[in-house]
Structure 1
Amino acid sequence: MEAKQGVLEHLNKILTGELTAVHQYVAHAAMCENWGYERLHHALQERAHDELDHARSLVEHILYLDGTPDLQTVNPLTIGQTVPEQFQHDLVLEMEVLTLLRAAIAHCTQVGDFTTRHKLEDLCVETEEHIDWLETQQETIKQVGLENYLSEQIKK
Protein backbone atom coordinates (compact mmCIF):
# COMPACT_ATOMS: atom_id res chain seq x y z
CA MET A 1 0.00 0.00 0.00
CA GLU A 2 1.37 3.40 -0.91
CA ALA A 3 1.82 5.95 1.86
CA LYS A 4 0.03 9.27 1.85
CA GLN A 5 2.17 12.39 1.50
CA GLY A 6 4.47 13.05 4.46
CA VAL A 7 3.51 9.96 6.46
CA LEU A 8 6.76 8.06 5.88
CA GLU A 9 8.81 11.07 6.94
CA HIS A 10 6.90 11.27 10.22
CA LEU A 11 7.23 7.52 10.80
CA ASN A 12 11.00 7.59 10.22
CA LYS A 13 11.43 10.52 12.64
CA ILE A 14 9.54 8.55 15.29
CA LEU A 15 11.59 5.44 14.47
CA THR A 16 14.78 7.43 15.10
CA GLY A 17 13.42 8.50 18.49
CA GLU A 18 12.47 4.94 19.41
CA LEU A 19 15.86 3.54 18.36
CA THR A 20 17.58 6.26 20.38
CA ALA A 21 15.44 5.31 23.38
CA VAL A 22 16.42 1.63 23.01
CA HIS A 23 20.11 2.54 23.16
CA GLN A 24 19.69 4.96 26.04
CA TYR A 25 17.59 2.58 28.15
CA VAL A 26 20.04 -0.28 27.51
CA ALA A 27 22.95 1.92 28.63
CA HIS A 28 21.12 3.10 31.74
CA ALA A 29 20.00 -0.44 32.59
CA ALA A 30 23.58 -1.71 32.29
CA MET A 31 24.85 1.09 34.51
CA CYS A 32 22.22 0.29 37.15
CA GLU A 33 23.19 -3.37 37.02
CA ASN A 34 26.83 -2.38 37.47
CA TRP A 35 25.88 -0.23 40.47
CA GLY A 36 23.99 -3.18 42.01
CA TYR A 37 20.46 -1.86 41.48
CA GLU A 38 18.91 -5.12 40.27
CA ARG A 39 15.27 -3.98 40.47
CA LEU A 40 15.98 -0.80 38.53
CA HIS A 41 18.08 -2.71 35.99
CA HIS A 42 15.11 -4.98 35.24
CA ALA A 43 12.67 -2.06 35.02
CA LEU A 44 14.89 -0.21 32.54
CA GLN A 45 15.50 -3.39 30.53
CA GLU A 46 11.73 -3.75 30.27
CA ARG A 47 11.49 -0.17 28.95
CA ALA A 48 14.21 -0.97 26.39
CA HIS A 49 12.21 -3.99 25.22
CA ASP A 50 9.09 -1.83 24.95
CA GLU A 51 10.98 0.68 22.81
CA LEU A 52 12.30 -2.14 20.63
CA ASP A 53 8.73 -3.36 20.14
CA HIS A 54 7.74 0.18 19.13
CA ALA A 55 10.60 0.29 16.63
CA ARG A 56 9.65 -3.12 15.22
CA SER A 57 6.05 -2.02 14.80
CA LEU A 58 7.14 1.15 13.00
CA VAL A 59 9.49 -0.79 10.69
CA GLU A 60 6.70 -3.22 9.79
CA HIS A 61 4.27 -0.39 9.09
CA ILE A 62 6.79 1.58 7.01
CA LEU A 63 7.38 -1.55 4.92
CA TYR A 64 3.60 -2.07 4.62
CA LEU A 65 3.39 1.46 3.20
CA ASP A 66 6.12 0.53 0.64
CA GLY A 67 8.64 2.76 2.37
CA THR A 68 12.21 2.25 3.53
CA PRO A 69 12.73 2.31 7.29
CA ASP A 70 15.72 4.36 8.42
CA LEU A 71 17.40 2.03 10.87
CA GLN A 72 20.76 3.78 10.70
CA THR A 73 19.92 7.10 12.30
CA VAL A 74 20.10 7.46 16.06
CA ASN A 75 20.07 10.78 17.87
CA PRO A 76 22.90 11.54 20.32
CA LEU A 77 22.39 9.76 23.63
CA THR A 78 22.22 11.66 26.90
CA ILE A 79 23.62 9.27 29.46
CA GLY A 80 22.98 10.09 33.10
CA GLN A 81 25.82 9.57 35.56
CA THR A 82 23.39 9.13 38.46
CA VAL A 83 19.96 7.53 38.68
CA PRO A 84 18.15 10.90 38.95
CA GLU A 85 20.05 12.16 35.90
CA GLN A 86 19.11 9.00 34.02
CA PHE A 87 15.44 9.50 34.82
CA GLN A 88 15.60 13.13 33.71
CA HIS A 89 17.33 12.30 30.41
CA ASP A 90 14.92 9.44 29.72
CA LEU A 91 11.96 11.69 30.49
CA VAL A 92 13.20 14.34 28.04
CA LEU A 93 13.63 11.68 25.36
CA GLU A 94 10.15 10.22 25.94
CA MET A 95 8.63 13.72 25.79
CA GLU A 96 10.40 14.35 22.47
CA VAL A 97 9.00 11.11 21.06
CA LEU A 98 5.54 12.01 22.36
CA THR A 99 5.75 15.35 20.54
CA LEU A 100 6.69 13.54 17.31
CA LEU A 101 3.83 11.07 17.79
CA ARG A 102 1.28 13.83 18.31
CA ALA A 103 2.48 15.70 15.22
CA ALA A 104 2.31 12.51 13.15
CA ILE A 105 -1.19 11.71 14.44
CA ALA A 106 -2.36 15.19 13.44
CA HIS A 107 -0.76 14.79 10.01
CA CYS A 108 -2.34 11.36 9.47
CA THR A 109 -5.73 12.80 10.37
CA GLN A 110 -5.19 15.65 7.93
CA VAL A 111 -4.25 13.34 5.02
CA GLY A 112 -6.84 10.69 5.89
CA ASP A 113 -4.49 7.84 6.90
CA PHE A 114 -6.57 6.43 9.71
CA THR A 115 -4.77 3.07 9.91
CA THR A 116 -1.43 4.74 10.62
CA ARG A 117 -3.11 7.19 12.98
CA HIS A 118 -4.58 4.31 15.00
CA LYS A 119 -1.18 2.58 15.28
CA LEU A 120 0.43 5.84 16.38
CA GLU A 121 -2.28 6.44 18.96
CA ASP A 122 -1.44 3.05 20.49
CA LEU A 123 2.26 4.02 20.62
CA CYS A 124 1.25 7.35 22.14
CA VAL A 125 -0.54 5.60 25.00
CA GLU A 126 2.49 3.41 25.74
CA THR A 127 4.83 6.41 25.58
CA GLU A 128 2.60 8.29 28.02
CA GLU A 129 2.80 5.26 30.35
CA HIS A 130 6.62 5.45 30.21
CA ILE A 131 6.46 9.16 31.00
CA ASP A 132 4.16 8.47 33.94
CA TRP A 133 6.53 5.79 35.28
CA LEU A 134 9.52 8.14 35.05
CA GLU A 135 7.65 10.99 36.71
CA THR A 136 6.52 8.61 39.46
CA GLN A 137 10.14 7.56 40.10
CA GLN A 138 11.20 11.20 40.31
CA GLU A 139 8.38 12.03 42.72
CA THR A 140 9.19 8.98 44.86
CA ILE A 141 12.81 10.12 45.14
CA LYS A 142 11.60 13.56 46.27
CA GLN A 143 9.31 12.04 48.88
CA VAL A 144 11.53 9.34 50.39
CA GLY A 145 14.99 10.63 49.50
CA LEU A 146 17.53 9.21 47.08
CA GLU A 147 19.22 6.87 49.58
CA ASN A 148 15.93 5.25 50.61
CA TYR A 149 14.82 4.97 46.99
CA LEU A 150 18.07 3.35 45.88
CA SER A 151 18.10 0.95 48.84
CA GLU A 152 14.81 -0.43 47.50
CA GLN A 153 16.37 -0.98 44.06
CA ILE A 154 19.07 -3.42 45.18
CA LYS A 155 17.03 -6.62 45.02
CA LYS A 156 14.27 -7.47 42.59
Structure 2
Amino acid sequence: MNGVRIHHPRIIGFFTRALTHEYTAVQQYRTQSSLCTLWGMADWAEYFRHESREELDHAGILSQQLLLMGIAPTGAQLRPPRPGRDLREMLTHDQDLEFSAVQLYSEAQNFSERMRDIPSAEVFARLRADEEGHMRSLAEMLERFH
Protein backbone atom coordinates (compact mmCIF):
# COMPACT_ATOMS: atom_id res chain seq x y z
CA MET A 1 0.00 0.00 0.00
CA ASN A 2 3.09 2.27 -0.22
CA GLY A 3 2.40 3.93 3.14
CA VAL A 4 -0.60 5.83 1.79
CA ARG A 5 -3.20 6.35 4.47
CA ILE A 6 -6.89 6.49 3.75
CA HIS A 7 -8.48 9.44 5.53
CA HIS A 8 -12.03 9.52 6.73
CA PRO A 9 -14.05 11.97 4.59
CA ARG A 10 -15.30 13.72 7.71
CA ILE A 11 -11.72 14.40 8.86
CA ILE A 12 -10.94 15.86 5.45
CA GLY A 13 -14.07 17.97 5.88
CA PHE A 14 -12.85 19.21 9.26
CA PHE A 15 -9.55 20.28 7.73
CA THR A 16 -11.35 22.10 4.92
CA ARG A 17 -13.78 23.83 7.32
CA ALA A 18 -10.88 24.79 9.56
CA LEU A 19 -8.97 26.28 6.64
CA THR A 20 -12.00 28.37 5.68
CA HIS A 21 -12.33 29.48 9.29
CA GLU A 22 -8.68 30.53 9.50
CA TYR A 23 -8.87 32.52 6.26
CA THR A 24 -12.03 34.20 7.58
CA ALA A 25 -10.10 35.14 10.74
CA VAL A 26 -7.20 36.53 8.68
CA GLN A 27 -9.65 38.68 6.73
CA GLN A 28 -11.34 39.92 9.91
CA TYR A 29 -8.10 40.80 11.70
CA ARG A 30 -6.69 42.55 8.62
CA THR A 31 -9.88 44.59 8.29
CA GLN A 32 -9.69 45.55 11.95
CA SER A 33 -6.03 46.48 11.57
CA SER A 34 -6.91 48.77 8.68
CA LEU A 35 -9.68 50.42 10.69
CA CYS A 36 -7.35 51.01 13.61
CA THR A 37 -4.83 52.57 11.24
CA LEU A 38 -7.54 54.91 9.93
CA TRP A 39 -8.52 55.78 13.51
CA GLY A 40 -4.92 56.62 14.42
CA MET A 41 -4.57 53.63 16.77
CA ALA A 42 -1.18 52.35 15.62
CA ASP A 43 -0.61 49.97 18.55
CA TRP A 44 -3.96 48.27 18.01
CA ALA A 45 -3.38 48.15 14.25
CA GLU A 46 -0.16 46.24 14.90
CA TYR A 47 -1.94 43.94 17.40
CA PHE A 48 -4.53 42.98 14.77
CA ARG A 49 -1.81 42.53 12.09
CA HIS A 50 0.00 40.17 14.47
CA GLU A 51 -3.20 38.19 15.05
CA SER A 52 -3.78 37.92 11.30
CA ARG A 53 -0.27 36.51 10.84
CA GLU A 54 -0.92 33.88 13.51
CA GLU A 55 -4.13 32.85 11.80
CA LEU A 56 -2.31 32.73 8.46
CA ASP A 57 0.25 30.40 10.07
CA HIS A 58 -2.65 28.16 11.15
CA ALA A 59 -3.94 28.21 7.57
CA GLY A 60 -0.49 27.09 6.42
CA ILE A 61 -0.52 24.14 8.81
CA LEU A 62 -3.97 23.11 7.60
CA SER A 63 -2.98 23.52 3.95
CA GLN A 64 0.02 21.25 4.46
CA GLN A 65 -2.15 18.60 6.12
CA LEU A 66 -4.60 18.68 3.21
CA LEU A 67 -1.75 18.40 0.72
CA LEU A 68 -0.38 15.40 2.62
CA MET A 69 -3.84 13.84 2.23
CA GLY A 70 -3.75 14.48 -1.51
CA ILE A 71 -6.37 17.23 -1.31
CA ALA A 72 -5.91 20.66 -2.88
CA PRO A 73 -6.47 23.21 -0.09
CA THR A 74 -9.21 25.73 -0.64
CA GLY A 75 -10.79 28.27 1.66
CA ALA A 76 -14.33 27.75 0.41
CA GLN A 77 -16.88 30.48 1.14
CA LEU A 78 -15.39 32.98 3.60
CA ARG A 79 -17.73 34.67 6.02
CA PRO A 80 -17.72 38.46 5.77
CA PRO A 81 -15.53 40.21 8.32
CA ARG A 82 -17.19 41.72 11.38
CA PRO A 83 -14.96 44.76 11.97
CA GLY A 84 -16.89 46.48 14.75
CA ARG A 85 -17.72 50.13 15.35
CA ASP A 86 -15.22 50.56 18.16
CA LEU A 87 -12.41 48.65 19.82
CA ARG A 88 -14.62 46.90 22.38
CA GLU A 89 -16.96 45.64 19.67
CA MET A 90 -13.99 44.46 17.59
CA LEU A 91 -12.65 42.40 20.47
CA THR A 92 -16.10 40.97 21.16
CA HIS A 93 -16.45 39.88 17.53
CA ASP A 94 -12.98 38.34 17.71
CA GLN A 95 -13.90 36.48 20.88
CA ASP A 96 -16.91 34.99 19.04
CA LEU A 97 -14.67 34.00 16.14
CA GLU A 98 -12.11 32.34 18.43
CA PHE A 99 -14.87 30.55 20.36
CA SER A 100 -16.19 29.01 17.15
CA ALA A 101 -12.64 27.90 16.29
CA VAL A 102 -12.25 26.18 19.66
CA GLN A 103 -15.57 24.39 19.14
CA LEU A 104 -14.57 23.28 15.65
CA TYR A 105 -11.14 22.05 16.73
CA SER A 106 -12.55 20.23 19.76
CA GLU A 107 -15.10 18.41 17.62
CA ALA A 108 -12.46 17.61 14.99
CA GLN A 109 -9.99 16.35 17.59
CA ASN A 110 -12.59 14.15 19.29
CA PHE A 111 -13.74 12.65 15.99
CA SER A 112 -10.16 12.06 14.85
CA GLU A 113 -9.39 10.27 18.11
CA ARG A 114 -12.50 8.08 17.72
CA MET A 115 -11.32 7.19 14.21
CA ARG A 116 -7.83 6.49 15.60
CA ASP A 117 -6.33 9.16 13.34
CA ILE A 118 -3.86 10.36 15.96
CA PRO A 119 -1.79 12.62 13.64
CA SER A 120 -4.92 14.58 12.70
CA ALA A 121 -6.09 14.68 16.32
CA GLU A 122 -2.71 16.13 17.32
CA VAL A 123 -2.95 18.89 14.70
CA PHE A 124 -6.45 19.81 15.85
CA ALA A 125 -5.37 19.73 19.51
CA ARG A 126 -2.45 22.07 18.82
CA LEU A 127 -4.64 24.53 16.94
CA ARG A 128 -7.33 24.34 19.63
CA ALA A 129 -4.74 25.19 22.30
CA ASP A 130 -3.61 28.23 20.30
CA GLU A 131 -7.19 29.43 19.89
CA GLU A 132 -7.91 28.90 23.59
CA GLY A 133 -4.91 31.12 24.31
CA HIS A 134 -6.37 33.78 22.00
CA MET A 135 -9.69 33.51 23.85
CA ARG A 136 -8.00 34.02 27.22
CA SER A 137 -6.15 37.09 25.92
CA LEU A 138 -9.33 38.55 24.48
CA ALA A 139 -11.21 37.95 27.73
CA GLU A 140 -8.48 39.79 29.65
CA MET A 141 -8.57 42.72 27.21
CA LEU A 142 -12.35 42.93 27.38
CA GLU A 143 -12.23 42.96 31.20
CA ARG A 144 -10.40 46.29 30.97
CA PHE A 145 -13.46 47.81 29.31
CA HIS A 146 -15.73 47.12 32.32
Q: TM-score, normalised by structure 1?
A: 0.87
Question: Hey, what does 1:119 align to over in structure 2?
Answer: 123
Aligned-partner residue type, residue 137 of structure 1: M
Question: Hey, what does 2:95 align to over in structure 1?
Answer: 91
Paired residues in the alignment total: 142
Cα deviation for residue 70 of structure 1 reads 2.0
Q: TM-score, normalised by structure 2?
A: 0.92
Query: Which of 51, 54, 58 pairs up with 1:54?
Result: 58
Runs of at least 4 residues off by over 4 Å = none
CA shift digits 1:87-125 (9 cap, x unpaired): 111110111111110010011001111001111111111
Cα deviation for residue 24 of structure 1 reads 0.2
Question: Hey, what does 2:86 align to over in structure 1?
Answer: 82
Cα deviation for residue 68 of structure 1 reads 2.6
Contact 2:36 2:44 in 1 (8 A): yes
Aligned equivalents of 2:103, 2:19: Cα separation in 1: 13
- Gap runs ≥5 in structure 1: 143-156
Whether 1:33 aligns to 2:31 is no
Once the two structures are aligned, what percentage of the paired residues are identical?
Answer: 24
- Gap runs ≥5 in structure 2: none
Question: Hey, what does 2:10 align to over in structure 1?
Answer: 6
Cα root mean square deviation, aligned: 1.1
